[in-house]
Amino acid sequence: MPEIKKNLIKSNYYSLPFKNNYFDAVFAFHCIYRANFGDTLTTIKEIMRTSKGNSYITLGAYFDDEGKNLFDKWGILSTTHLNVKDWKKVLKYINYKGDYSFTTPESLGLKT
């Protein structure tokens, strides 16, 4: 719509053109795990930097080898998906304090 076009800002997820603590909340739903692992981590750090501590992200994940195989076959747009336990370690390592959930083969109805 022309009236909102002037307000749109195009940028990479991992290099946001906003000051620290700019947003009251940042929400990244089914998008950041489409990047490679390094860019996914940088994106999470950018979310932490630009939010005032309130964020919610979803991450591609699996619980077992069967789930990994399903994600590998199905997740053509998912570049970075890890075991749930590994994601928790990564989030702790980078000191992510926001909320998160996992998109898994189970949640996608690929595995019962």
In a domain, 15, yes or no: no
pLDDT tens readout for residues 30-73: 888 888 999 999 999 999 999 999 999 999 999 999 999 988 88
CA 96 to chain centre: 12
Domain range enclosing 59:
20-103
C-beta separation of 28 from 55 below 8 A: yes
**Number of structural domains found in the chain:** 1
In a domain, 12, yes or no: no
| Amino acid identity at 99 | D
**Radius of gyration (C-alpha) of the chain in whole angstroms:** 15
The pTM score is 0.88
